Chain A
Amino acid sequence: MRYNKLFNSLKERNQLAYIPFLLLGDPTEELSLKLIDTLVKNGADALELGFAFSDPVADGPVIQAASLRPLTNGFYVDAGFKLISQVRAKYPDLPIGILTYANLVFAPGIEQFYDKAARSGVDSVLIADCPVEERDLFSAAARNCSIDTVYIAPPDAGPSSLELIANYSQGYTYVLSRKGITGTENSQQETGTDLIEQLKQLQAPPLVQGFGISKPEHVLQAAEAGVDGIITGSAIVNLINEHYNTPDKMLDLVADYAKTMSDAAHNARHQLKMVHTIEKGSNYVDSGNNQTAAAGNGTAS
């Protein structure tokens, strides 16, 4: 529900959502909370929070390096959920998504994982190495705990995969800008309006673009392509990698960066003189229909 409310209110303001990514417990538990405060203060509309994993195959060097800090500190999944509970208590309306890897969900027991997620106030879970084709292993537990499951729509997905992604993704749809792994080295955008259009046609939940988005001009490109929000990950994590030994400086730099990107997200459509048209199949206008479609698959959020 928090995602719905967020995207509807952004729609009224003709703005894109700005969703930054952070690794939980990085660089420390205390600073992790301060970083989250900084992001929210500087315009974050929702959060995407990652659990550090020993084998992050979808991540590039920046997030790999960062993952070592929580892992070395023994800051694992349970510690992460505790931290999220604190964030939830502070920001009751903020949508909070988890980004994780399948083994971290599987190992403690799938039901227990989603139960803990629900109790700590999580809205959605995205498993980086669980494609929609393997959804059965996790979907019942997620549904029982009323947790949204987010799927990724990559540039080369075939029509049948796209249909599944549009049908089963809840809360929002994570649209990949390009192939590859997370990181800012390659910011080339490959996702054409084709993929975006197809997802809209299929009435996928709001489209949030990520991978390689690190600068305001990338946000403009994403807005032009027609997405509803953007995610930045490695750019912020990179600031943490470089400055975690000087926390005040790190927090200042993250504040500046978040402000720049949230401004870009919130102003992009105005800058491009785009207006939301009321059209059939629009994921905003027809969010009611979208809910119905999702409910038809037994996946109501």
Chain B
Amino acid sequence: MNQKVNAPTQFEFDGAYIGQFGGQFVPQLLMPALQQLNKAFEASLVDNDFQTELKRLLKEYAGRPTPVTECTSYARINQSRIFLKREDLLHGGAHKTNQVLAQALLAKKMGKHRIIAETGAGQHGVATALACALLGLKATIYMGKKDCDRQAPNVFRMQLMGAEVIPVDNGSASLKDAINESLRDWASSYETTHYLLGTVAGPAPFPKMVRTFQKIIGEEAKQQMKELIGQLPDAVIACVGGGSNAIGIFADFIKDEQVRLIGVEPAGKGLDTNAHGATLLKGHEGILHGARTYVMQDKEGQVQESHSVSAGLDYPAVGPEHVHLMTSGRAEYVSVTDEEALEAFQELSKSEGIIPALESSHALAYAKKLAAESTEPLNILVNLSGRGDKDLAHVMSILNSSN
């Protein structure tokens, strides 16, 4: 940490903002929808029926708590121990299901019967589709055309569960464009429709709400680490696209200053190329999708296209709380290339019998680096945010073409 943590409230949201980041930079038209959502969200926090129902769904339907697994051989360098928080075992195959179930319940409370969502890798889309199938809501998923192609199995999964998937072909045909399309849909449909945003980005209350519904990851993991090793981990590592799995595992550790929080951004083909998605490391402060945050952009403010081998990290902005965690010095942000992530993807599969999502492979790759660089043995907790089944065809084609 570069800076002392000043006050316990420094890392809490104050209205729409955390530090100077966040806000509600949306067309005036959408303000009533955000205000209604904020009210419903705040009420849900003290609504016992809501909390009981959510807990029940998380346990009986989604399979919480997820275990923490210690790696037998992956990255066991210098006697460091690597622990995986197994969000890949959550129903749906990724951490996304946690907060989707909560928002879907909220939508029902608000009397909305249609859900729209954006998706990058398709994991948020799949989670939204399953929650809507379960709760009897109609789901429309916007997905970049490019992502539909590289995540084809997830498109089919969504459709099987009754969701309509709309490929978005404008802009970079990727996650940011799917968010644009969702916001456009919401501008005319908000009376009957809830926009179920999938990450800690976007206008308030989304960053705070998604954090609140994802922080169960870190709460469980903290308890599990205490049981496993009798102490807190030295470092917690998670990949960062929009940043929901990272916030989810970080949140409960923020006040434990001795625990290093490390977010891993996609360096794509390298930070010195234009083909990466390292918004925090290489972007600048800006305003996108409703939030004052960091954005990959040119000097006049046009948003640039990001790149990552993993669709879920391919986003030229980032959740405002990460910017706050970085600029305040509480969390560190690093990056991992496509190639390094692909290596970790294969290595974990081979050494542990666990096929990680390409997104999570970024966190795994950095855990190995950290263990190798450390002079002392470390206890490292990695959020294994999703499983890699969705990536099989994509990785197979990359590996075949490079042979």
With a CB–CB cut-off of 8 A, which chain B residues contact A55?
171, 176-177, 180, 288-289, 303
Contact B300 A108 (CB under 8 A): yes
A35 CA to B31 CA, complexed, in Å? 35
Query: Beyond A128-B27, A131-B24, is A181–B184 a contact (Cβ under 8 Å)?
Result: yes
A133, A153, A176: residue with the most chain B Cβ atoms closer than 10 Å: A133
B26, B32, B35, B183: residue with the most chain A Cβ atoms closer than 10 Å: B26
Contact B284 A107 (CB under 8 A): yes
Question: 8 Å CB contacts to A: which residues of B17-33?
Answer: 23-32
Contact B29 A179 (CB under 8 A): yes
Contact B300 A102 (CB under 8 A): no
Q: Determine whether A129 belongs to the interface, using a CB cutoff of 8 Å to chain B.
A: yes
With a CB–CB cut-off of 8 A, which chain A residues contact B32?
154, 156-158, 161
A244 CA to B157 CA, complexed, in Å? 43
With a CB–CB cut-off of 8 A, which chain A residues contact B28?
131-132, 151-154, 157, 161, 165
Contact B27 A152 (CB under 8 A): yes
Total contacting residues, chain B, CB less than 8 A: 38
A156 CA to B35 CA, complexed, in Å? 12
Query: Beyond A55-B180, A57-B27, is A186–B188 a contact (Cβ under 8 Å)?
Result: yes
Contact A108 B287 (CB under 8 A): no
With a CB–CB cut-off of 8 A, which chain A residues contact B176?
55
CB closest chain-B residue, reference A100: B301
With a CB–CB cut-off of 8 A, which chain B residues contact A156?
29, 32, 191
With a CB–CB cut-off of 8 A, which chain B residues contact A106?
285-287, 292, 301
Q: Determine whether A76 belongs to the interface, using a CB cutoff of 8 Å to chain B.
A: yes
A263 CA to B403 CA, complexed, in Å? 69
From DSSP, what is the main secondary structure of chain B's interface residues? mixed
A141 CA to B30 CA, complexed, in Å? 25
- Least CB distance from B302 to A in Å reads 5
With a CB–CB cut-off of 8 A, which chain B residues contact A60?
184
A154 CA to B27 CA, complexed, in Å? 9
A193 CA to B288 CA, complexed, in Å? 34
A266 CA to B289 CA, complexed, in Å? 39
Q: Determine whether A272 belongs to the interface, using a CB cutoff of 8 Å to chain B.
A: no
A156 CA to B192 CA, complexed, in Å? 14
With a CB–CB cut-off of 8 A, which chain B residues contact A64?
170
With a CB–CB cut-off of 8 A, which chain A residues contact B299?
107-108
Contact A129 B27 (CB under 8 A): yes
- Least CB distance from B167 to A in Å reads 15
Question: 8 Å CB contacts to B: which residues of A275-291?
Answer: none
Interface string of B169-201 (1 = CB under 8 A from A): 011000011001001100110110000000000
Question: 8 Å CB contacts to A: which residues of B253-305?
Answer: 284-290, 292, 295, 297, 299-304
- Least CB distance from B166 to A in Å reads 13
A128 CA to B295 CA, complexed, in Å? 18
A151 CA to B31 CA, complexed, in Å? 13
Query: Which listed residue, A102, A132, A180, touches B287 by the CB 8 Å rule?
Result: A102
A161 CA to B27 CA, complexed, in Å? 13
B30, B32, B176, B184: residue with the most chain A Cβ atoms closer than 10 Å: B184
Query: Which listed residue, B23, B184, B300, touches A57 by the CB 8 Å rule?
Result: B184
Q: Determine whether A134 belongs to the interface, using a CB cutoff of 8 Å to chain B.
A: yes
With a CB–CB cut-off of 8 A, which chain B residues contact A108?
299-301
Contact B29 A154 (CB under 8 A): yes
With a CB–CB cut-off of 8 A, which chain B residues contact A295?
none
Question: 8 Å CB contacts to B: which residues of A78-134?
Answer: 78, 101-108, 128-134
Total contacting residues, chain A, CB less than 8 A: 44
Contact A53 B302 (CB under 8 A): yes
Contact A133 B284 (CB under 8 A): no
A155 CA to B30 CA, complexed, in Å? 11
Q: Determine whether A258 belongs to the interface, using a CB cutoff of 8 Å to chain B.
A: no
Interface string of B32-70 (1 = CB under 8 A from A): 100100000000000000000000000000000000000
With a CB–CB cut-off of 8 A, which chain A residues contact B26?
57, 129, 131
CB closest chain-B residue, reference A132: B28
- Least CB distance from A129 to B in Å reads 5
- Least CB distance from B114 to A in Å reads 15
Contact B25 A179 (CB under 8 A): no
B29, B180, B302, B304: residue with the most chain A Cβ atoms closer than 10 Å: B29
With a CB–CB cut-off of 8 A, which chain A residues contact B284?
107
Query: Which listed residue, A57, A77, A154, touches B180 by the CB 8 Å rule?
Result: A57
Contact A131 B300 (CB under 8 A): no
A133 CA to B204 CA, complexed, in Å? 12
- Least CB distance from B201 to A in Å reads 13
With a CB–CB cut-off of 8 A, which chain B residues contact A134?
23-25
Query: Beyond A57-B180, A131-B24, A131-B26, is A104–B300 a contact (Cβ under 8 Å)?
Result: yes
A130 CA to B287 CA, complexed, in Å? 10
With a CB–CB cut-off of 8 A, which chain B residues contact A56?
180
Q: Determine whether A31 belongs to the interface, using a CB cutoff of 8 Å to chain B.
A: no
Contact A104 B301 (CB under 8 A): yes
A58 CA to B285 CA, complexed, in Å? 21
With a CB–CB cut-off of 8 A, which chain B residues contact A154?
27-29, 31-32
Q: Determine whether A300 belongs to the interface, using a CB cutoff of 8 Å to chain B.
A: no
A242 CA to B271 CA, complexed, in Å? 40
Q: Determine whether A71 belongs to the interface, using a CB cutoff of 8 Å to chain B.
A: yes
Contact A180 B188 (CB under 8 A): yes
- Least CB distance from A48 to B in Å reads 16
CB closest chain-B residue, reference A130: B25
Query: Which listed residue, B27, B188, B287, touches A103 by the CB 8 Å rule?
Result: B287
Q: Determine whether A260 belongs to the interface, using a CB cutoff of 8 Å to chain B.
A: no
- Least CB distance from B111 to A in Å reads 15
Contact B301 A107 (CB under 8 A): yes
- Least CB distance from B289 to A in Å reads 8
A186 CA to B184 CA, complexed, in Å? 14
A154 CA to B28 CA, complexed, in Å? 7
With a CB–CB cut-off of 8 A, which chain B residues contact A179?
29, 187-188, 190
10 contacts between A and B (CB under 8 A): A54-B171, A54-B302, A103-B301, A129-B26, A129-B27, A129-B287, A132-B28, A151-B28, A156-B29, A181-B188
Q: A53-B301, A154-B32 are in contact. List 11 more A-B contacts (CB 8 A).
A: A57-B289, A60-B184, A101-B287, A102-B25, A107-B299, A131-B27, A137-B292, A154-B31, A161-B32, A179-B29, A181-B187
Minimum-distance CB pairs A-B, first 4: A107-B301, A180-B188, A154-B29, A102-B287
